[in-house]
Copies of this chain bind each other. A is one copy, B any other.
Amino acid sequence: MPTRTASQRRAEASIIYDAYLAECPARQLLDRIADKWVSLVVNALADGPRRYSELQRRLASVSQKMLTQTLRHLERDGLVSRTVTPAVPVRVAYELTPLGRSLLPVMRAIKDWAEEHMDEVQAARVTYDTPD
């Protein structure tokens, strides 16, 4: 088996996967993670495991459906692990996997950007919407 460095493998991957192409799996993955709910959920799991109800509280006014759906997708993609503690009532904890944690900086950056540049964007909108 040939030995390859991580950067070499990345270089190969960038040849194989090209998100600009509609048919490329990476394009679908981009579509999956470039998502409001994914960003918020991953950010909410930044500091460790969280219970379902904790996430629901943190993400004010996310519907049960979207929260569950997002968590299922993240679990299936290996970004989040789900741990059920058999008790009455049952406790379910969600936690970022190592793979999920590798996405955290990106998700944090996008959320922070939105919060930090809100003023500039709003000013630009006013300018754009104002008839000369």
Point out the residues of chain B lying under 8 angstroms from A34, CB to CB: 34-36, 38-39, 110
Please name all residues of chain B whose beta carbon is closer than 8 Å to the beta carbon of A13 when the two chains form the complex.
Answer: 115-116, 118-119
Interface residue from B105, B116, B127 paired with A14 (Cβ < 8 Å): B116
What number of A residues sit within 8 Å (CB to CB) of B? 57
A22 within 8 A of B: yes
Query: How many chain copies does the complex carry?
Result: 2
Question: CA separation between A29 and B77, bound complex, in Å?
Answer: 26
Tell me, yes or no, whether A122 is within 8 Å of chain B by CB.
yes
Interface residues of A (CB under 8 A from B): 10, 13-14, 17-22, 25-27, 29-31, 33-36, 38-40, 44, 58-61, 75-79, 99, 102-103, 105-106, 109-125, 127-129
Q: Which residues of B contact A19 (CB under 8 A)?
A: 39-40, 111, 114-115
User: Smallest Cβ distance from A10 to chain B, in angstroms?
Assistant: 6
Which 3 A-B residue pairings sit nearest by Cβ, starting from the closest? Answer: A78-B124, A22-B61, A30-B114
